[in-house]
Chain A
Amino acid sequence: MADRHASTFLASLRELTLARIREFLREPEAVFWVFGFPVIMTIALGIAFRSRTDEPVIVAVERAAGAEAVRAALEAATGFVVRDVPATGVERALRDGVVQVVIVPGTPATYRYDPARADSQVARLAVDRALQQAAGRRDAFTPREDAVRAVGSRYIDWLVPGLLGMNIMGTGMWSTSFAIVTARTRKLLKRFAATPMPRAAYLASLIGSRLAFLVLEGVVLVAFAWLSFDVVVHGSLAALAVVSLLGALAFGGIALLVASRAKTVEGVSGLLNLVMLPMWVFSGVFFASSNFPETMQPFVQALPLTALNDALRGVMNDGQTLASLWRELALLAGWGGVSFVAALRLFRWS
């Protein structure tokens, strides 16, 4: 009898997973979003954040007495692009990022810049150095410089694992929860519940089918980053695969929970955004999660995407082994397991 149950469970799981994979592959838009989106995102960000070498500092000099001298000093130094900005357009040019710093000539000159922006701060320092030198300051010493341009230590190297993590979360959450809510609105869940189908097999099939897609989308993203940006995996590919799988399981479970009672696609979309937004912000996709204040860290570190991104970066950037990432992996497994069990209890079949 127990054998019979087990074989029905496995047969149901297999057929449900196959059905889900088939349905997905027969939906061209879904395929595009899952596989095309991360690649487009990587290209866009790769271009935006490409390693800049000798990017000029963009400066505006307000039209006033002494402007010509300032202009001449900056042109004598290298690495500046000087733009002419009318006095009325200064605020706007700074806000829009058209220029990084505005110099108001005078004695002494005034630097207008936005201290909240790193590029503006850097530009202020560079301008100051050039103008001080033109006015006669001499450096106390000339440092030796060692520019880091090695593969593995650029922003893009750090960014790609974050994108992979975000993608594992995003596609997993959207595709799983939409599949559930669609089946619910079509009364297909109710129809399934009217059969002896093991209910856990249905939920497990959604996660199982995700794993199948994950292999494809993870490979697409990592291979693309490698081919176009020379982003390499320092750790083992097997470790990367295990971390990705565990991440997909965790977000699969969370997606089941999010969609466990929602009756409409609109309703579940709102919930998904509510759940994912904190992770987009806090979990270190585009900038390190350690930037957030100490008091917030317990919350930030408990987020599954933080754990996933940390583990992915551990493997890809630092070559860490799975054993040394046990904390992150345990957290992911915990999120997945608890969500799955809770979803199974809360799930609305009709």
Chain B
Amino acid sequence: MPPEVALACRAVVKRYADVVAVDGLDLQVFRGECFGLLGPNGAGKTTTIEMLEGLLTPDAGEVEVLGQRWADAGAALRPRLGIQLQETQLADKLSVRETLRLFRSFYPSGRSVPELLALVGLESKAEAWVGKLSGGQRQRLSVACALAGSPDVLFLDEPTTGLDPQSRLQLWDVLRRFKDGGGTIVLTTHYMDEAATLCDRIGVVDRGKLIALGTPEALVQSLGTAHVVEVSFEGGTPPAGEWFTTLPGVVEGRVADGVVTLGSSAIHETIPAVLAALAAAGAAVQELRTHSATLEDVFVALTGRHLRDG
């Protein structure tokens, strides 16, 4: 039996004044999975997620949520979704408990305020004003507000941006528990480790298009290179030419900002060969680094840009 589709985009287009934010995007998210939209700033992640949330209307194409369209069933869909937006600032002078009571009152059914407090570990902060919370606590409160109506689908737009590692781990915990309870999650992020840890499947978006889709493992494997070697040079300039393409183990390579980056399938052969070639060329190596291929490398290989460059 194929998995049940929770969310679907078909050839969706969204334009702003002079930019095409989403350019013919096709996407499916299945029930019970955690789906990550990965991409640099301005790639169209937020626009895509807001069309799924029914906050934006696509200029072309179709969006389907839980088998229904926003135009036909908006009022019925709304209570089934939990939404956390990137830029919301909750009222500073309401307490955590008051804020949750407020959001809970919007839903015909859902979790109680004490349950929500326990869910995100904010029991001890229940009476504190929102303005006095740390960034991580505020973000957990924001997610708790999104969970107030016991949603089937939870949307999170860059939930951990700007958080310290401890807060990120706490928030990940909350999301895992939601998923364990059968919930579907769609999140955008530009942290590859977050996507790799949380997501069952990942869609990489760039310039409004889906350029890769799959499980984190499958995406990394699709690179065909298990390792990445990066070399920088004293004086900043690498030896000219494509001297690295024929070295043993090298699958692909490129030069950007004075750094040579090589994808290698056999690191133990590549590194001695690189050093020998550079010695022969008389180049002075400043730094040589190597790491296992990650989603970041997938993104760089696909777009030539780093995730956080924007």
Give chain A's interface residues, CB within 8 Å of chain B.
4-5, 7-8, 11-12, 14-16, 18-19, 22-23, 26-27, 183, 186-188, 190-197, 350
Query: Quick check: is B183 within 8 A (CB to CB) of the other chain?
Result: no
Interface centre among B101, B106, B149 (most CB of A within 10 A): B106
Stretch from B37-45, B81-89, B119-127 forming part of the interface with A: B81-89
Tell me, rounded to whole Å, the shortest Cβ–Cβ distance linking B196 to chain A: 28
Across the interface, do A27 and B93 meet the contact criterion of CB distance under 8 Å? yes
A-B contact pairs, 22 of them (CB 8 A): A7-B108, A8-B105, A8-B106, A11-B105, A12-B105, A14-B105, A15-B101, A18-B98, A19-B98, A22-B94, A23-B94, A183-B91, A186-B88, A186-B89, A190-B88, A191-B83, A191-B85, A192-B106, A195-B107, A196-B78, A196-B107, A196-B149
6 further interface pairs, Cβ-Cβ under 8 Å (given A23-B94, A186-B88):
A12-B106, A22-B98, A187-B89, A190-B88, A192-B106, A195-B106
Across the interface, do A194 and B105 meet the contact criterion of CB distance under 8 Å? no
Residues of A contacting B88 in the complex (Cβ-Cβ under 8 angstroms): 186-188, 190-191
Tell me, rounded to whole Å, the shortest Cβ–Cβ distance linking A105 to chain B: 69
Query: Quick check: is B300 within 8 A (CB to CB) of the other chain?
Result: no
Partner of B90, one of A15, A188, A195: A188
Residues of B contacting A196 in the complex (Cβ-Cβ under 8 angstroms): 75, 78-79, 106-108, 149
Give A5 to B79 CA distance when docked, in angstroms. 12
Once A194-B55, A196-B149 are accepted as A-B contacts, the answer to whether A19 and B106 lie under 8 Å apart by CB is no
Partner of B55, one of A12, A23, A190: A190
Once A22-B93, A195-B149 are accepted as A-B contacts, the answer to whether A190 and B105 lie under 8 Å apart by CB is no
Across the interface, do B94 and A187 meet the contact criterion of CB distance under 8 Å? no
Task: Please count the residue pairs between chain A and chain B whose beta carbons lie under 8 angstroms apart in the complex.
Answer: 71
Give A12 to B79 CA distance when docked, in angstroms. 14
Give A15 to B149 CA distance when docked, in angstroms. 15
Once A12-B105, A195-B107, A196-B106 are accepted as A-B contacts, the answer to whether A19 and B94 lie under 8 Å apart by CB is yes
Query: Quick check: is B103 within 8 A (CB to CB) of the other chain?
Result: yes
Give A73 to B309 CA distance when docked, in angstroms. 91
Tell me, rounded to whole Å, the shortest Cβ–Cβ distance linking B173 to chain A: 23
Across the interface, do A26 and B93 meet the contact criterion of CB distance under 8 Å? yes
Partner of B102, one of A16, A26, A183, A194: A16
Tell me, rounded to whole Å, the shortest Cβ–Cβ distance linking A202 to chain B: 10
Residues of A contacting B81 in the complex (Cβ-Cβ under 8 angstroms): 194
Query: Quick check: is B33 within 8 A (CB to CB) of the other chain?
Result: no
Give A16 to B91 CA distance when docked, in angstroms. 12
Chain B, interface size category, equals 20 to 34
Please, which residue of chain A has its CB at the minimum distance from the CB of B109? A4
- List the 3 closest pairs (A to B, CB-CB), nearest first: A15-B105, A197-B106, A186-B89
Query: Quick check: is B53 within 8 A (CB to CB) of the other chain?
Result: yes
Residues of B contacting A27 in the complex (Cβ-Cβ under 8 angstroms): 93
Once A190-B85, A196-B149 are accepted as A-B contacts, the answer to whether A8 and B108 lie under 8 Å apart by CB is yes
Tell me, rounded to whole Å, the shortest Cβ–Cβ distance linking A7 to chain B: 8
Tell me, rounded to whole Å, the shortest Cβ–Cβ distance linking B135 to chain A: 16
Across the interface, do A4 and B98 meet the contact criterion of CB distance under 8 Å? no
Across the interface, do A8 and B107 meet the contact criterion of CB distance under 8 Å? yes
Give A337 to B94 CA distance when docked, in angstroms. 30
Residues of A contacting B149 in the complex (Cβ-Cβ under 8 angstroms): 195-196
Residues of B contacting A192 in the complex (Cβ-Cβ under 8 angstroms): 106
Residues of B contacting A18 in the complex (Cβ-Cβ under 8 angstroms): 98
Give A14 to B93 CA distance when docked, in angstroms. 18
The B133-153 residues at the A interface (CB cut-off 8 A) are 145, 149
Give A194 to B105 CA distance when docked, in angstroms. 14
Give A4 to B102 CA distance when docked, in angstroms. 17
Tell me, rounded to whole Å, the shortest Cβ–Cβ distance linking B264 to chain A: 45
Tell me, rounded to whole Å, the shortest Cβ–Cβ distance linking B184 to chain A: 16
Residues of A contacting B105 in the complex (Cβ-Cβ under 8 angstroms): 8, 11-12, 14-16
Give A186 to B94 CA distance when docked, in angstroms. 14
Residues of A contacting B94 in the complex (Cβ-Cβ under 8 angstroms): 19, 22-23
Give A196 to B89 CA distance when docked, in angstroms. 19
Residues of B contacting A7 in the complex (Cβ-Cβ under 8 angstroms): 108
Tell me, rounded to whole Å, the shortest Cβ–Cβ distance linking B110 to chain A: 10
Tell me, rounded to whole Å, the shortest Cβ–Cβ distance linking A264 to chain B: 15
Please, which residue of chain B has its CB at the minimum distance from the CB of A192? B106
Once A8-B108, A26-B93, A196-B149 are accepted as A-B contacts, the answer to whether A19 and B102 lie under 8 Å apart by CB is yes
Interface centre among A27, A196, A350 (most CB of B within 10 A): A196
Tell me, rounded to whole Å, the shortest Cβ–Cβ distance linking B124 to chain A: 21
Residues of A contacting B98 in the complex (Cβ-Cβ under 8 angstroms): 18-19, 22
Tell me, rounded to whole Å, the shortest Cβ–Cβ distance linking B92 to chain A: 9
Give A191 to B81 CA distance when docked, in angstroms. 12
Partner of A195, one of B75, B91, B101, B103: B103
Give A83 to B107 CA distance when docked, in angstroms. 76
Please, which residue of chain A has its CB at the minimum distance from the CB of B93? A26
Across the interface, do A350 and B55 meet the contact criterion of CB distance under 8 Å? yes
Across the interface, do A188 and B78 meet the contact criterion of CB distance under 8 Å? no
Once A194-B55, A196-B75 are accepted as A-B contacts, the answer to whether A188 and B106 lie under 8 Å apart by CB is no
Residues of B contacting A5 in the complex (Cβ-Cβ under 8 angstroms): 108
Give A16 to B99 CA distance when docked, in angstroms. 10
Across the interface, do B108 and A4 meet the contact criterion of CB distance under 8 Å? yes
Residues of B contacting A16 in the complex (Cβ-Cβ under 8 angstroms): 102, 105
The B158-197 residues at the A interface (CB cut-off 8 A) are none
